[in-house]
């Protein structure tokens, strides 16, 4: 089987490194490269991945990402495991880049599992304008791997022991990196976005706005308006001038998603 060409755009958390180890080592995937928003993140990611015995090129800024997509000989699967800052900047430079992406998998969003806000995980919350730009772009196939999915597969000590028992440098490093997250319930979010590529049955997906209760952005906006109206009606509450749950209103101002937008809501 010809490996699927993959680009990972990430930030510099421990689970990004595990996702990259998986993308680099799985025989069904061909990792073309990794991009980050900043040089500091690139250095940090490379160091984290090196703990698994791999030397992976990590490119800061948007220039490499644009070139990699423009020059791809076949459609690329693009996985984002950080804020969507880089990808939005790439689209601003060249919106036709969507044609180079066969599939976009975004680790982001949430439906029922609380994120930073009821509707935004940290990746979306960190740069909501970028998220809005990306979700409005005409990618042919978009999948959001949401916090609902990653919360359902939090790891425990037994899981990490099984990972260590594989005995490879990458497996041991992944276990050690995941162990640093145990105090947070060992939610190892980012590898799930890569795992979705190699285990198609791993995630249950819902079409955005379709049956099953997935809220479309329009519904989210209406809900936010109702909440603001209720807050404004309460005595002593600042109402409409206050931020909604601490998030800028722009985070709720999502454009309509592509009709192909799918969203993973649970897994395993
Ligand atoms: Ca990340």
Q: How far is the CA of 12 from the centre of ligand 1 (A)?
A: 6
Q: How far is the CA of 82 from the centre of ligand 1 (A)?
A: 4
Listed residues: CB within 5 A of ion ligand 1: 11, 13, 16, 81-82, 190
Query: Which residue numbers are catalytic?
Result: 189
Domain residue limits, the chain: 4-267
Could you report the per-residue pLDDT of 81-135, keeping only the tens digit for each?
999 999 999 999 999 999 999 999 999 988 877 777 777 889 999 999 999 999 9
Q: How far is the CA of 117 from the centre of ligand 1 (A)?
A: 17
Residue 142 has pLDDT above 80, yes or no: yes
Q: How far is the CA of 251 from the centre of ligand 1 (A)?
A: 19
Q: Is 95 helix (H, G, I), strand (E, B) or coil?
A: helix
Q: How far is the CA of 107 from the centre of ligand 1 (A)?
A: 8
pTM of the full predicted structure?
Answer: 0.79
Residue 153 has pLDDT above 90, yes or no: no
Closest-CA residue to 120 (of 3, 1, 226, 248): 248
Residue-wise DSSP of 140-187: S-EEEE-HHHHHTT---HHHHHHHHHT--HHHHHHHHHHHTTGGGT--
Whole-number percent of the chain with pLDDT over 90: 60
Residue 222 has pLDDT above 90, yes or no: no
Residue 184 is predicted with a pLDDT of 63
According to CATH, the topology of domain 4-267 is: Inosine-uridine Nucleoside N-ribohydrolase; Chain A (3.90.245)
Average pLDDT over residues 187-205: 91
Could you report the per-residue pLDDT of 9-38, keeping only the tens digit for each?
999 999 999 999 999 999 999 999 999 999
Q: Is 121 helix (H, G, I), strand (E, B) or coil?
A: coil
Average pLDDT over residues 38-62: 97
Q: How far is the CA of 120 from the centre of ligand 1 (A)?
A: 14
Q: How far is the CA of 180 from the centre of ligand 1 (A)?
A: 14
Residue 244 is predicted with a pLDDT of 36
Residue 230 is predicted with a pLDDT of 67
Indicate the burial class of 200 (C-beta count within 10 angstroms; 0-12, 13-18, 19 or more). exposed
């Amino acid at each position: 089987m010809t490996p699927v060409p993959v680009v990972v755009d990430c930030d510099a958390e421990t689970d990004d490194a595990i996702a990259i180890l998986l993308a680099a080592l799985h025989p069904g995937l061909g990792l073309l490269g990794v991009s980050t928003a900043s040089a500091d993140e690139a250095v940090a990611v490379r160091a984290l991945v090196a703990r698994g015995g791999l030397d992976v090129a990590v490119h800061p800024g948007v220039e490499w990402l644009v070139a990699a997509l423009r020059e791809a000989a076949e459609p690329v699967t693009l996985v984002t495991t950080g804020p969507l800052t880089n990808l939005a900047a790439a689209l601003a430079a060249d919106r036709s880049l969507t044609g180079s992406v066969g599939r976009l998998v975004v680790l982001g969003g949430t439906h029922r599992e609380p994120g930073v806000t009821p509707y935004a995980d940290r990746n979306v919350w960190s740069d909501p304008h970028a998220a809005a730009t990306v979700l409005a772009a005409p990618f042919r196939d978009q999948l959001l791997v949401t916090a609902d999915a990653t919360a359902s597969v939090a790891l425990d000590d037994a899981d990490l022991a099984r990972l260590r028992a594989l005995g490879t440098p990458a497996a041991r490093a992944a276990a050690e990196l995941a162990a640093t997250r145990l105090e947070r319930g060992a939610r190892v979010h980012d590898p799930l976005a890569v795992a979705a590529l190699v285990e198609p049955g791993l995630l249950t997906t819902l079409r955005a706005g379709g049956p099953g209760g997935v809220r479309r952005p329009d519904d989210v906006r209406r809900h936010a308006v109702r909440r603001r109206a209720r807050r404004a009606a309460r005595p002593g509450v600042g109402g409409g001038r206050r931020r909604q749950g601490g998030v800028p209103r722009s985070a709720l101002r999502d454009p309509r998603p592509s009709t192909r937008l799918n969203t993973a809501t649970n897994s395993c």
